[in-house]
């Protein structure tokens, strides 16, 4: 089956040209909106272009030359998007900063990239002003919130006004500055789960070819409303939740926060139809819905149980009854306008996908990396396969490199979306880009129809004394089926006696459910040993579904959540040396 497309390409343009084309085509259509002081502030496509044009003109007027670096840091908001688009229009290079990083990390990235200006929301301005003397190239901080310039901080609002004045006087330096498809658009610094920071260089061609491929792979248009939830500094949201909707004339609603109540509020109030998210977000949404049902009167709970039974019965004869049967539930939950959710950034559990499907909601799982701008694969709408990351999107090739006897090998990809390379890191570039192919480091396989499945990360793989390969992600997915395990990290650990790797787990329990267990079994308060015994039993139960060599041999319990990346993946490199061991005899 290979790749797939549901419509023709619109063509590949620079980010600069894309915005102008969308403004000309969609004009008074709302491009983006955000709720402030209880009212949604809306920006049309023409207004967006005018603001971007003015700001870009002023950036050139400030003396910024082509390919100079400009950073952005802040929460998801129109000003973040306008800054990005203006930097691109002016022929400059965008260096997004992760708002979760420390000021010292900001300093390191900006110094490494040679950043000259940085756009920032108010909460980051003071830190940036403090580190500015220690970043040789950094000239000024531009505040997204200040109304007026000061000695150290420029006002974005004032710069726009000054740029507008320049445009009205016939200045068009930004317009005349050529921006080509192969110009460097973004340097994206990623730390991921390894802790090693690399600057991914993405050209206008890399980014906009991926935008066009997404457009070809799935149907959405000017009638759709996207909810922007994931951080815009991450390439998944920047491409799929920002540039893709602007490319197609859709509207972007900026969520107030990642809190469920704020997400549902944004969906309800603006009729959101599409949302990008990471698996953890969807897991929490599903858990929230089911938890709410458990608080209802027994009569309501029984009614839900019967309805769920009907849905599961219908599924056995390939009928999706959830859309009809749970229509009322989705309306009450404020999710009835959603056409589909898109999941990326990490593996989506089958249980979450099934849970949404049973309630009549679709999650399309995809896959990609920062190095591929980012989307490589996606499940076609209406042809999703459980547990699969889907098919290669148009113009992208994905293959399995050096598959073993079970068909599992490294996932490699090529296409116009594959990065230029790592900034000032030719060794890492040469190791990752080989013979025109991006080596992802992820292991997987294809089924007979070309759908791709992830087995795990090659660097995470555990090799047993019998030479068997254990993929930690597979074990983690089984253990996460337990209601008493909130988060888990599986890794290899040397047995001090045999000096062989064995399967070890670090567990963060779901303490809310553990407390409920204690109440039910009259164990309040539970001792530490009783908690260990409960988790040990759960590990044994769920590992029983796995081959013997894949089962957890020992584990430890931690008292707080794991530190995670922007896309909510556990930072594995922080947990290579477990500190406490409890032998479970598995």
What span, in angstroms and rounded, lies between the C-alpha atoms of 499 and 506? Answer: 20
Name the nearest CA neighbour of 90 among 107, 110, 65, 112. Answer: 65
Does residue 529 or residue 466 have the better pLDDT? 529
Beta bridge partners of 15: none
464 pLDDT higher than 60: yes
Predicted local confidence at residue 261, as pLDDT: 87
Predicted local confidence at residue 586, as pLDDT: 35
Residue 66 lies in a domain: yes
The CATH number of residue 175's host domain is 3.40.50.980
What span, in angstroms and rounded, lies between the C-alpha atoms of 541 and 518? Answer: 19
Q: Which whole number is the average pLDDT over 349-368?
A: 96
Report residue 107 as tokens.
């300093």
Residue 346 lies in a domain: no
Predicted local confidence at residue 383, as pLDDT: 94
Beta bridge partners of 422: 200
Total domains in the chain come to: 2
Residue 67 lies in a domain: yes
Residue 311 lies in a domain: no
Taking each continuous run of H as one helix and of E as one strand, the counts in the chain are 20, 28
Is there a contact between 390 and 452 (Cβ–Cβ < 8 Å)?
A: yes
What span, in angstroms and rounded, lies between the C-alpha atoms of 478 and 349? Answer: 9
Residue 334 lies in a domain: no
391 confidence band (pLDDT: 50, 70, 90): very high
2 confidence band (pLDDT: 50, 70, 90): low
What span, in angstroms and rounded, lies between the C-alpha atoms of 101 and 565? Answer: 10
- Mean per-residue pLDDT of the chain: 92
Question: Which three-class secondary structure state does DSSP give residue 30?
Answer: strand
422 pLDDT higher than 50: yes
Q: Which whole number is the average pLDDT over 426-452?
A: 96
584 confidence band (pLDDT: 50, 70, 90): very low
The string of DSSP letters for 138-202 reads --EEEESS-SS--SSEEEHHHHHHHHHHHHHTT--HHHHS---TTSEEEEEEE-TTTT--EEEEE
Give burial (CB, 10 Å; 0-12/13-18/19+) of 229.
buried
Task: Give the Å distances, CA to CA, from 207 to 159, 240, 486, 503.
Answer: 27, 10, 35, 39
What span, in angstroms and rounded, lies between the C-alpha atoms of 487 and 265? Answer: 28
373 confidence band (pLDDT: 50, 70, 90): very high
Q: What digits encode the pLDDT tens for the residues 273-306?
A: 999 999 889 988 999 999 999 999 999 999 999 9
- Residue ending a domain, among 180, 200, 220, is 200
Q: Which of 86-90, 360-364, 415-419, 489-493 has the lowest mean pLDDT?
A: 489-493
The string of DSSP letters for 32-81 reads EEEEETTEEEEEEHHHHHHHHHHHHHHHHHTTPPTT-EEEEESSSSHHHH
- Residue ending a domain, among 200, 233, 256, is 200
How many CB atoms are closer than 10 A to CB 576? 9
465 pLDDT higher than 70: no
What span, in angstroms and rounded, lies between the C-alpha atoms of 232 and 80? Answer: 8
Residue 206 lies in a domain: no
**Helical packing angle, 279-294 and 298-315, nearest 10°:** 130
Report residue 368 as tokens.
């990609």
- Residue ending a domain, among 200, 226, 244, is 200
Predicted local confidence at residue 576, as pLDDT: 55
Phi and psi angles of residue 518, each rounded to the nearest 5 degrees, phi first: -65, -40
Report residue 85 as tokens.
């688009």
Predicted local confidence at residue 216, as pLDDT: 98
Predicted local confidence at residue 581, as pLDDT: 34
The CATH number of residue 503's host domain is 3.30.300.30
In the 8-state DSSP scheme, what is residue 563? P
Q: Which whole number is the average pLDDT over 252-262?
A: 91
Report residue 170 as tokens.
């016939």
377 pLDDT higher than 90: yes
579 pLDDT higher than 50: no
Predicted local confidence at residue 1, as pLDDT: 45
Q: What digits encode the pLDDT tens for the residues 185-220?
A: 999 998 654 456 799 999 999 999 999 999 999 999
Residue 570 lies in a domain: yes
| Domain limits for position 567 | 461-583
577 pLDDT higher than 50: no
In the 8-state DSSP scheme, what is residue 283? H
Name the nearest CA neighbour of 31 among 85, 112, 99. Answer: 85
580 confidence band (pLDDT: 50, 70, 90): very low
Residue 338 lies in a domain: no
471 confidence band (pLDDT: 50, 70, 90): confident
């Amino acid at each position: 089956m290979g790749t797939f497309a549901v419509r023709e390409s619109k063509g590949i343009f620079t980010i600069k040209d894309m915005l102008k084309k969308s403004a000309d085509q969609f004009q008074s259509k709302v491009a983006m909106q955000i709720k402030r002081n209880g009212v949604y502030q809306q920006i049309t496509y023409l207004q967006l272009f005018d603001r971007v044009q003015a700001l870009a003109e002023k950036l050139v007027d400030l003396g910024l030359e082509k390919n100079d670096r400009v950073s952005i840091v802040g929460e998801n908001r129109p000003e973040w998007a306008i800054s990005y688009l203006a930097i691109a229009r002016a022929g400059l290079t965008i260096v997004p900063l992760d708002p979760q990083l420390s000021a010292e990390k900001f300093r390191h990235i900006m110094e490494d990239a040679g950043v000259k200006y940085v756009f920032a929301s108010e909460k980051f301005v003071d830190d940036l002003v403090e580190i500015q003397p220690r970043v040789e190239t950094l000239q000024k901080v531009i505040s997204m919130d200040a109304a007026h310039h000061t000695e150290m901080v420029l006002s974005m609002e004032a710069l726009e006004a000054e740029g507008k004045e320049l445009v009205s006087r016939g200045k068009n330096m930004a317009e005349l500055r050529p921006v080509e498809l192969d110009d460097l658009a973004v340097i994206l610094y990623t730390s991921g789960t390894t802790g090693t920071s690399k600057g991914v260089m993405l050209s206008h061609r890399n980014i906009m070819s991926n935008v066009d491929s997404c457009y070809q792979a799935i149907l959405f248009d000017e009638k759709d409303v996207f909810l922007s939830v994931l951080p815009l500094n991450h390439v998944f949201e920047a491409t799929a939740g920002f540039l893709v909707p602007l490319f197609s004339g859709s509207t972007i609603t900026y969520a107030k926060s990642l809190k469920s109540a704020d997400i549902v509020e944004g969906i309800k109030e603006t009729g959101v139809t599409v949302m990008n998210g990471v698996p953890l977000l969807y897991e929490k949404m599903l858990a929230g819905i089911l938890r709410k049902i458990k608080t209802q009167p027994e009569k309501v709970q029984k009614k839900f149980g019967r309805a769920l039974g009907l849905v599961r019965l219908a599924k056995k004869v390939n009928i999706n009854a959830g859309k009809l049967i749970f229509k009322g539930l989705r309306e009450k939950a404020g999710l009835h306008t959603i056409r589909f959710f898109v999941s990326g950034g990490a593996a989506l559990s089958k249980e979450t996908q099934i849970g949404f499907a049973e309630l009549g909601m679709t999650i399309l799982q995809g896959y990609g990396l920062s190095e591929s701008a980012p989307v490589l694969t996606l499940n076609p709408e209406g042809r999703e396969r459980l547990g699969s990351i889907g098919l290669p999107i148009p113009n992208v090739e994905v293959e399995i490199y050096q598959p073993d006897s079970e068909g599992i090998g490294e996932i490699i990809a090529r296409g116009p979306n594959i990065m230029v390379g790592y900034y000032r890191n030719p060794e890492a570039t040469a190791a990752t880009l080989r013979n025109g192919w991006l080596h992802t480091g992820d292991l997987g396989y294809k089924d007979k129809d070309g759908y791709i499945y992830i087995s795990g990360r090659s660097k995470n793989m555990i090799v047993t004394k019998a030479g068997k390969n254990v993929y930690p992600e597979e074990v983690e997915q089984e253990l996460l089926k337990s209601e008493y395990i909130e988060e888990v990290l599986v890794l290899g650990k040397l047995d001090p006696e045999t000096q062989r790797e064995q399967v070890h787990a670090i567990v963060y329990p779901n303490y809310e459910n553990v407390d409920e267990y204690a109440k039910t079994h009259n164990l309040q308060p539970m001792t530490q040993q009783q908690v260990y015994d409960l988790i040990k039993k759960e590990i044994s139960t769920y590992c029983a579904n796995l081959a013997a060599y894949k089962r957890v041999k020992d584990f430890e319990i931690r008292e707080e959540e794991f530190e995670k990346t922007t896309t909510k993946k556990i930072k594995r490199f922080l947990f290579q040396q477990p500190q406490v061991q409890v032998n479970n005899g598995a």
